[in-house]
Structure 1
Amino acid sequence: MTAAASPSSTGPQHGLTDRLARWARGFSHKAEEEEAEEVELRPRAGTAASREINRRRQLYSEIGDFLFAHDLDLTPVNFSVALDYLTGANVGVEKAIRAVMMERGKITNGWLEALAADQRADEITPDGLATMLDKVEENLTQFTGLMHESRNSAKDYGAALQEQAKELSESSDSEPVLARLVGLTRSMVEKTRQVENQLRENQRQTQALKSSLESARRAAEHDHLTGLPNRRAFEAVLREETKLAQDGGEALSVAFCDIDHFKQINDLHGHDTGDRVLKFVAGLLAKISNDRCHVARHGGEEFVLLFRGKTAGETCEAVDGVREDLAGRSLVNRTNGERMERVSFSAGVANVLAYDDPRAALKAADRALYLAKEHGRNRVYLAAEAD
């Protein structure tokens, strides 16, 4: 197993939304003027606004201390939940965190993700975020086309003015008014060139922004630790694959896999080793993925697999093969060279098309996983199909 990746630091999700909205307005002079006004309106030290800034800085410091104390990743979800907890803005979040801290003393990334999903079901959805990004990219594409058109028009205009200036300067009539006209024309040509240069720079910035948005989209759909698609990406794939399977009359099955006793791995060997175990298991599961088998990290120590063209029974066999491979390996803690206890996972499998809604199939697979855990772990259970 390789060394664990360091968690990336990022702002809260509402900060991302604000930035995207700002980007969507384009790089207009109006935006530049607004930014200049914002600079002018910065509060002086000692004012009420200055005290508010200091209060916010203190809050951000407390959020950072909270995340580091529980060894939580610096993600938008974790930051936002910590903000709700420390400010008391969300009573449900505050009660849930206090309860788990009293019971366990520590909070995990997986538990915090699940809490955020439960508490914020009405906030921005994966589809909403994807739609927003699509709209921003559409606006930027239109803006890029407008800049191309404006630049070409500026070139044509400049060329025509230069030609008129040349004819006037070569004319035998040397009246002062013609000389002034020549000077005025040359000045207009220079201004046109300046506009063209600005358009070219704006186009470069827009292209860079489009590239950044594409990177942001990829990052938003992948788990930073394992490199696998995340829950958001999987939900989109589930909808698409369900439609393809229904239209093509193919089988479609889903499996939930959860690493057994993962908390003990973290407690005994540390979170860095726990992260390496997650990456190792993710690698084993990814080996069976292809264009008809999709693997994602669903959250915490849980993974989800979707098989198109395989029955639930065939999916059980495929997942059980990976389970047997993992359980038969002898892993070593690279931090101290000690041999680790056997690492295994339990899994639950369900036939997606046996349910009216794919989410119902996910719940059935999750229940089968729970039964596998109850009956001894390190096994794969098949969910009973809906009536």
Structure 2
Amino acid sequence: MTGMTGAISPSAGGHHGLTDRLARWAKGLSGRTETEDDIAEGEEPQRARAGTAANREVVRRRQLYNDIGDFLFAHDLDLTPVNFSVALDYLTGANVGVEKAIKAVLMERGKITNGWVEALSAGQRADEVTPESLASMLDKVEENLTHFSGLMHESRNSAKDYGAALQEHAKDLTGEGDNEPVLARLVGLTRSMVEKTRQVEGQLRENQKQTQALKSSLENARRAAEHDHLTGLPNRRAFEGVLREELALAQENGEQLSVAFCDIDHFKVINDTHGHDTGDRVLKFVAGLLSKASDDRCHVARHGGEEFVMLFRGKTAGETCEAVDRVRQDLAGRSLVNRANGERMERVSFSAGVANVLAYEDPRAALKAADRALYLAKEHGRNRVYLAAEAD
């Protein structure tokens, strides 16, 4: 094909590089080197037995990570946390459901794909954590952290004030007679309290740093929850947030705002004919073409399955049709090849529906209008872009 092979082919030697990296990681987790594994002559038998057990654990871990690397490479799976976790569950038998599902698909197809693993993982978590509940939990944790940060700030200020007051009273102490021993003890106590206060301040500062680091980790988790693992694009949940923000900006600045739904034509046929692995690569390839139009005024996301959504601020619905149609023509004019067997694939194309967001009462109505236009494009022959009629 003209551009797909270079975009999706793995680098040469990927198998050994991945396996070696995982092996080095396993070795690093042990905190030991091969020379440290040897038991020095004359050590006690108990230490020798402990060392032997530790050696066996190191070997076991190293072999496990080698096996995981081999498994990912054999199925051409990306090195993602989801794929790594599923491979670990399968190879160790830690999750019976995962083990049975993988054995079943291997018997049926002989291979698994990134998309299949993603769907399996999502199904495993469906009864536990949804994107919405994850977002709610993250918001609650951040709220608690903000409150905790405020308490730490207040406590630190109180500690400073207390220390300053003690020091001031110590300076003002006066008396008659031989009260030097009493004053000495009082001054010593004051100094001790001041030192303890300083220690508490240091601990509070350290806790505040840890809180900030945790907030940063939560933000990373939020971003991961809003991205599609297969294509790297934002997912549906992330798009809904962008739509709200872009709508507010368009209304504030008096700009146009248009939305487009793009759906790959006959995608099930691609999967059935060439396999899910090739189907995943087609998804990535189309995502890459659509992403070329993305900037701070054009946002692209994977809406689900083989459907993508594009949001254009500053373009009329007609201009959006033209922009999307250029991408459609680019894809339809390419000659793609199935990398697995070198066979030329049937033409890959997509259909699209476009709507003017501001012509409807709310964004959801505009999305429905674009979706209806998309299905009209499908019904009238596919590989075309249709503009939705605006609401009265």
Shorter-chain TM band: 0.5 to 0.7
Query: What is the aligned counterpart of 2:349 among 337, 345, 350?
Result: 345
1:167 CA displacement: 2.5
Identity of aligned residues (%): 66
Q: Name the structure 2 match of 1:180.
A: 185
Q: 1:55 to 1:347 in 2, by over 3 A?
A: farther
Q: Deviations over 1:313-346 (max 9, x none)?
A: 99766533320133346899xxxxx9x9897432
Alignment of 1:88-237 (within 5 A): 89=95, 91=97, 96-118=101-123, 120-168=125-173, 173-223=178-228, 228-234=233-239
1:216 CA displacement: 2.7
Alignment of 1:369-380 (within 5 A): 378-379=383-384
Q: 1:381 to 1:78 in 2, by over 3 A?
A: farther
**For the aligned residues, what is the CA RMSD?**
5.8
The answer to whether residue 282 in structure 2 is matched with residue 282 in structure 1 is: no
Q: 1:308 to 1:275 in 2, by over 3 A?
A: closer
The answer to whether residue 284 in structure 2 is matched with residue 257 in structure 1 is: no
Distance in 2 separating the partners of 1:90 and 1:239 = 42
TM-score (norm 2): 0.59
Q: 1:112 to 1:239 in 2, by over 3 A?
A: farther
58-67 or 124-133: bigger deviation = 58-67
Q: Deviations over 1:252-296 (max 9, x none)?
A: 86624338758969989xx9x979835631323526x83xx6421
Letter in 1 for 2:154: E
Q: 1:241 to 1:159 in 2, by over 3 A?
A: closer
Letter in 1 for 2:156: R
Runs of 5+ consecutive residues of structure 1 not aligned to the other structure? 10-43, 245-249, 333-337
1:204 CA displacement: 2.1
- In the comparison of the two structures, how many residue pairs are matched? 329
Letter in 2 for 1:345: S
Secondary structure at the aligned position of 1:205 is classed as helix
Distance in 1 separating the partners of 2:311 and 2:136 = 24
TM-score (norm 1): 0.60
The answer to whether the Cα contact below 8 Å between 2:115 and 2:230 also exists between their aligned partners in 1 is no
The answer to whether the Cα contact below 8 Å between 1:253 and 1:311 also exists between their aligned partners in 2 is no
1:298 CA displacement: 4.2
The answer to whether the Cα contact below 8 Å between 1:257 and 1:302 also exists between their aligned partners in 2 is yes
Distance in 1 separating the partners of 2:151 and 2:64 = 43
Alignment of 1:34-53 (within 5 A): none
1:195 CA displacement: 1.1
Q: Name the structure 2 match of 1:320.
A: 325
Runs of 5+ consecutive residues of structure 2 not aligned to the other structure? 19-48, 250-255
Q: Deviations over 1:126-169 (max 9, x none)?
A: 11111111111111111111111111111111111111222238
Distance in 1 separating the partners of 2:164 and 2:180 = 24
The answer to whether the Cα contact below 8 Å between 2:374 and 2:386 also exists between their aligned partners in 1 is no
1:101 CA displacement: 3.0
